[in-house]
Amino acid sequence: MTGVLSGFPPALTVWRAGLSDLLKQAGRGQSGGVTQTRLGNLLVISQTALTVILLIGAGLLVKSFVRMQQIDIGLNSRQALTANLLLSKRYLDPARRESFVRSLLESVGGAPGVQEVAMHTDPPFMGAGSHETFKVEGVADPSPEHGFPASFDMVSGGFFRAMDIPIARGRDFDKRDDANSPPVAIVNETMARQFWPNGEAVGKRLQFYYDKDPQRWLSIVGVARDVRYLGRLIAPVPQVFVPSQQSPYATLPYPQAPFVSLVVRTAADPGPMMAAVRERIWAVDKDQPIADLQPMDQILQESAAAPRMYMLLLGIFSAIALAIASAGIYGLSAYAVVRRTREMGIRLALGAAPGQIVVLVLRHGMLLTRIGGGLGVAGTLALTKVIAGFLYGVTATDAPTFVGVLLLFVALAFFPRTFPHAAQRPSTLPWRSAVSDPGLHVPLSACGQARRTGDTSTSQVSPGTRFTHVSTCLTPRLDCRRCL
């Protein structure tokens, strides 16, 4: 298919053009026909426009990914291990479950290199999370049959230290918060701002909406820092933490899910600690299944897998397009120089400096680049609605990205068009041989309105004669009478 599409335009050109037209164009020397020149220009413009679109898209995704990695998630994921445990039926009894969790924490916490270990029921970055509905004292319910939804996590002592989540106000859970003490809770900053924007959340009370004990209210003893539990790109939601020794499920109309998550804070790299943690868990219950035992950093990386894949794929395609565009521009530029050998020789014969020839080629190339770049920017702007859905912290019309890509293409357009000239020794440049030909004389009739400096009585112009129009004439020909 690629070969058919690539060969179709030249074949169409030959088919539409008559033999006499082709011979006439060939007879004009190496300057090339108009059709071939226009086709080459169209290819350069198309390559430039498509590559600009890909490069701007890749630049926006890279910038968005960097911004996403800089988001503060609210906890320290380094030197931390997590493991998910699906409990068997023998731990459905709350007392046996509490005993198993206590033994588990003691066993894992005694492993060398473990600084802190805790249990909780809502692991971060793993999905939708656990939610409950609450009543807030002094705040009217949103409807007669519904309370306020919030993320819910039942945690053991030392959880906030193990996760390295700071307590912004109030206190952490401690040994006072057992089954015989008044129920307590810790809320996050988002929930505190939502319900007590002008006051202090510590000391306020809330209640599980479906609690069968209407007198069981939870006193807020602390406010924890916000954590992006659902991922880097999802803003924190209201969240309530309760101590595991004060499990609310004894008075709730539904049982607790048979699932707990373990978090282990290590003194060094958590990778080598995984085997020791696994052995400590099986020392308590050799039949206990263990899932997702891995460093927390790995979970974070997996949560950003989709944006990373988009960035990588578009980056690869952009690099390939850039390489193809560079090769195409270089090839067309080199071919254009070879085709215009006779024209360049005539220009030098009329007195043009070699630098003027180079500027002429560069000026034409930069014109094509500007057109292609403009079309590429227009195409990107037309796709802003599509691109915006993949970006974070960056707009689809980010000016620095657009300007950077265009500057890159200016350099890209300049180098390939300079290289065909710089790569050759001055003595081997094609127009040098044309100018050094002692038999080359340009008739004055070729430029009927030109004014040469020197002997005006000479009917033939020798190489080196300078005309005042040489820097402005774009297409000097032997039969041209309108060079001015």
pLDDT at 471: 39
Which two tokens mark 246? 């004060």
Looking at the structure, do residues 275 and 356 belong to the same domain, yes or no? no
CB of 16 within 8 A of CB of 34? no
HEC sequence for 77-138: CCCEEEEEEECCHHHCCHHHHHHHHHHHHHHHHCCCCEEEEEEECCCCCCCCCCEEEEEECC
**What is the CA angle 429-430-434, rounded to 5?**
120
Quick one: 113 and 256 in the same domain?
A: yes
Q: What is the pLDDT of residues 29-81, one digit of tens each?
A: 444 456 667 777 787 788 888 888 888 888 888 888 888 878 888 888 889 99
Domain co-membership, 282 together with 320: no
Q: Of 260, 287, 314, which residue is a domain's last? A: 287
Question: What is the Cα–Cα distance from 189 to 73, expressed in whole angstroms?
Answer: 13
Question: What's the whole-model pTM score?
Answer: 0.66
User: Are 277 and 324 in a shared domain?
Assistant: no
Same domain, 240 and 106: yes
How many percent of the chain have pLDDT more than 90? 25
Counted domains in the chain: 2
**Do 164 and 244 share a domain, yes or no?**
yes
User: Given pLDDT bands bounded at 50, 70 and 90, which one contains residue 18?
Assistant: low
Does residue 295 sit within a domain?
no
Helix (H, G, I), strand (E, B) or coil at 48: helix
Do the domain assignments include residue 466?
no
User: Residue 12: its pLDDT value, please?
Assistant: 60
What is the bridge-based pairing of β-strands 460-461 and 442-443?
Answer: antiparallel
Residues 281 and 338 in one domain: no
- 41 and 131 housed in the same domain: no
Residue 7 located in a structural domain: no
pLDDT given at position 418: 55
292-321 mean pLDDT: 81
Examine the domain organization and report whether 122 and 228 are in the same domain.
yes
Region of poorest pLDDT, from 302-306, 322-326, 435-439:
435-439
In a domain, 361, yes or no: yes
Same domain, 158 and 281: yes
187 in a structural domain: yes
Residue 475 lies in a domain: no
Q: Which of 271-280, 392-401, 472-481 shows the lowest per-residue confidence on average (mean pLDDT)?
A: 472-481
At 156 the pLDDT is: 92
End-to-end CA gap in the chain: 47
The reply to whether 258 and 331 lie within a common domain is: no
Residue 183 domain-assigned (yes or no): yes
Given 287, 316, 345, the domain boundary residue is: 287
Range of the domain at 183: 88-287
Instruction: For residues 150 and 263, state if they share a domain.
Output: yes
Confidence of residue 16 (pLDDT cuts 50, 70, 90): low
455 pLDDT more than 50: no
The pLDDT assigned to 432 comes to 46
